[in-house]
Structure 1
Amino acid sequence: MAAEQIKLEVVTPEKAVLSEDVDEVVLPGSEGQVGILPGHLPLLTGLGIGEMVIRSEGGERRFFVDKGFAEVLDDKVSVLTQGCEGVSDIDIEHAQEEITVAEEEIARLEAQTEVAEDEEELLERYRESLKRARTRLVVASEGEDRA
């Protein structure tokens, strides 16, 4: 591994998604984007729903990331996430259907004058589902230009 690169490993509960040397990785931190270059100080951070950008050899690749954690140690970035999809893995039709369902259910629940506690949790799940679907579409559309 060249000194100008950092080892990136991405793992989901189902499989190891990536293991490669990269020039830079940008992660969707729970408090905002986190850019990591070789020589970064040690870091442990939570990840939100968002886009991971990998830059190497003058190119750029984008991935959808579904929460998790990232650890940076000794020129290595380990990402543990609930889900990670490359641009070609994103099902655009399914994401659009998820948006429609989530928006309808959110509108229905928000229209109620009083929302029970269990419905509040349901409302939050629909909001997260909406965010996931919208993020997948953004990643897919941005990735088409660069792939």
Structure 2
Amino acid sequence: MAEMTIQIVTPDGIKCNRKAYYISIKTPDGEMGILPGHVNMIAPLVIHEMKIRDKAEDEHVDWIAVNGGIIEVKDNTVTIIANSAERDRDIDTSRAERAKARAERQLKEAQAANQVDEMKRAKIALERALNRLSVGTK
């Protein structure tokens, strides 16, 4: 069975370096599945839940919270350079809950004061916290 190498790199270091059969990622244009032999490409990524499957018939899925970045697929190597990424087992859900509450509070305050830039930052922080919570509870 064909495999590809998956590498996820963040400013904090390498978060994933392994072989896999299938991954699912999300770009601004939508969700994309990547299998071995995928055409070479580069694309931006949005905040999303990345799915990794080791084998075609395997029901087990590993989840990673990816918070933006870019993906390069080249010669059965998938490299993701992300702003941040956390595996499901590494996510502290209580910390993510606190981040969600903080972002919701900041969004509400920015909306009340009509601060557009602060609203954008708070929405991104909220989206990241929700992504981490979703992956952390899988």
TM-score in terms of structure 2 length: 0.91
Task: Tell which structure's C-alpha radius of gyration is larger.
Answer: 1
Q: Per the alignment, in what secondary structure is the counterpart of residue 45 of structure 1?
A: strand
1:27 is matched with 25
Kindly indicate which of the two structures has a greater share of residues assigned to helix.
1
- The 5 A counterparts of 1:112-127 are 112=113, 115=114, 119-127=115-123
Q: How far does residue 109 in structure 1 lie from its aligned partner after superposition?
A: 2.1
Supply the distance in 2 between the matched residues of 1:7 and 1:76 (Cα, whole angstroms): 5
Supply the distance in 2 between the matched residues of 1:5 and 1:63 (Cα, whole angstroms): 19
Does the 8 A contact of 2:66 with 2:85 survive in 1? yes
> What count of residue pairs does the alignment treat as equivalent?
135
1:145 is matched with none
Q: Deviations over 1:49-100 (max 9, x none)?
A: 1111100031210010011000011111111011110111111111111111
- Percent sequence identity over matched residues? 27
Q: How far does residue 122 in structure 1 lie from its aligned partner after superposition?
A: 1.2
> How much is the aligned-residue C-alpha RMSD, in angstroms?
1.3
Structure 2 portions without partners, runs of 5+: none
Structure 1 portions without partners, runs of 5+: 143-147
Larger mean Cα displacement after TM superposition, 40-49 or 30-39:
30-39
1:104 is matched with 105
1:17 is matched with 15
TM-score in terms of structure 1 length: 0.86
1:72 is matched with 73
